[in-house]
Structure 1
């Protein structure tokens, strides 16, 4: 991957379907997400199709699924499949993985194997779907392994469209995605690189506080059209956090085409715009070196 040939790196995209057609979510939760994002009719692209999509736009993309087997009972898409598929397109795809923290020592062993044998660069957590608080000690052995491996931990924060308007929210508890719960993780694992995913409604100020205060905490801007960003988020992205804010779309439910068109309307300094779209993520994942 040659960073200087890219115009952007999308740090937040989802592998929604496996090679054998297995979905990453149950039909009920997938339907609720489509309703929330008004994304009915969008295809669940294969990873090869995702590669073609981003390559045609001179972009790279981080790809992951969510392992929430303990809370939902729905089998995940295999991390190995996602990483192997991404490895077929190393010019544009960057594999992340997801391990349910409830898997304990088995999850720790899996994390080591995925980094060492499959080149995985980070791990996605969705506390609300996975049914755990980020500061719960059950996840600490997994964080320790990720920190030791030099990988990134990406946490969903804020409200989620998954389970929205389903009876009882599909059992999904929003409280687990308060970004302030990640503050303890940043204290107890000071060398762990952390991304707080999404504008963190209704806890945007908490996310800004944690990212400003903790050295290795970043914010990605996925899951929302930029036209809905709070003035506070735009102000911090343009100033104090200009080196710690990252472009993410949430593809396929939000496309980078739509996101970038709306982002172009924000009053962001030109130098900061390039940092957000490309340079900050390149530095975080690659040390700005071409690979």
Structure 2
């Protein structure tokens, strides 16, 4: 995989089912998420994901979320995601997810996943995983990821998981306030942190953190670009033009829909390739 051969890099793609049909979410949460996003095909296989991106000459960062400690639902294994992605090295880049409640076992797993399985980064979802990113009990995991030299993606803002359920299915939105990650970024300056999604209702907070901390990036997944707040577009065009990343949130939003709406957005011509692939290429260390 080389940057020059790709039209775009989607840094935010979910693996929602494994080859045995095991889903990433329990029934109630999966149904609420599908209804929230009005998704027609909520659980494509990894092979289907790969073909989707190969047909578009794009690459995709793929991952699941390990939230067993908070929800009791067994995760899709990180090893499966890595092995499935290895079937499609021309288009898929595997990330892993470690439940912070795993403690020292999670720290050991991080090193093994990178060293033995070729994982290129890690995904956290504080609201779904039920943890405060500033909890010092999680800091050894951050330290390990920083030492491995790979990025960490954190869900920020509102989530469609649990949306519309009584009590939101127990999901706490406040755990995904991007200001919590300001402390993490300050404590771990060598850890590259990606704030996933337009961070409603904390968009300005996300922009402030990404502008202030050189090790903080923003991905634009989970929203159609036509709904982006004006301030996000302004910063993407200027102060954060080298730190904003294309992400769709597939299968919840298709890359076709995202790109079509992005094409209508008032983004400077010289900034477009940065957002679509060049910034991600630098973050992921892809060859030119």
User: TM-score with structure 2 length normalisation?
Assistant: 0.99
Runs of 4+ displaced beyond 4 Å = none
Report the counterpart of residue 271 of structure 2 in structure 1.
272
Q: Distance in 2 between matches of 1:195 and 1:6?
A: 21
Whether 2:10 is the aligned partner of 1:20: answer: no
The answer to whether the 8 A contact 2:14-2:250 is kept is yes
The SS at the match of 1:179 is: coil
Find the aligned partners of 1:177 and 1:229 in 2 and give their Cα distance. 18
Distance 2:250 2:34 in 1: 12
Kept after mapping to 1: 8 A contact 2:197/2:219: yes
Give runs of aligned pairs for residues 37-186 of structure 1, distance below 5 A.
37-39=37-39, 41-186=40-185
The residue number in structure 2 matching 1:235 is 234
- CA deviation after TM superposition for structure 1 residue 289, in Å: 1.6
Deviation of the 1:181 alpha carbon: 0.1
Give the aligned length.
288
* CA distance in 1 between partners of 2:86 and 2:160 (Å): 30
Per-residue CA deviation, residues 1-36 of structure 1 (Å, 9 max, x unaligned), is 021010000000000001100000001000000111
Whether contact under 8 Å (2:85, 2:93) holds in the other structure is yes
Distance 1:151 1:268 in 2: 29
For the residues of structure 1 that align with 2:182 and 2:157, how far apart are their CA atoms?
14
Note the residue ranges of structure 2 that are not aligned, 5 or more in a row. Answer: none
Compute the RMSD of aligned alpha carbons.
Answer: 0.7
Aligned equivalent of 1:249: 248
Uncovered stretches (5+) of structure 1, i.e. residues with no partner:
none
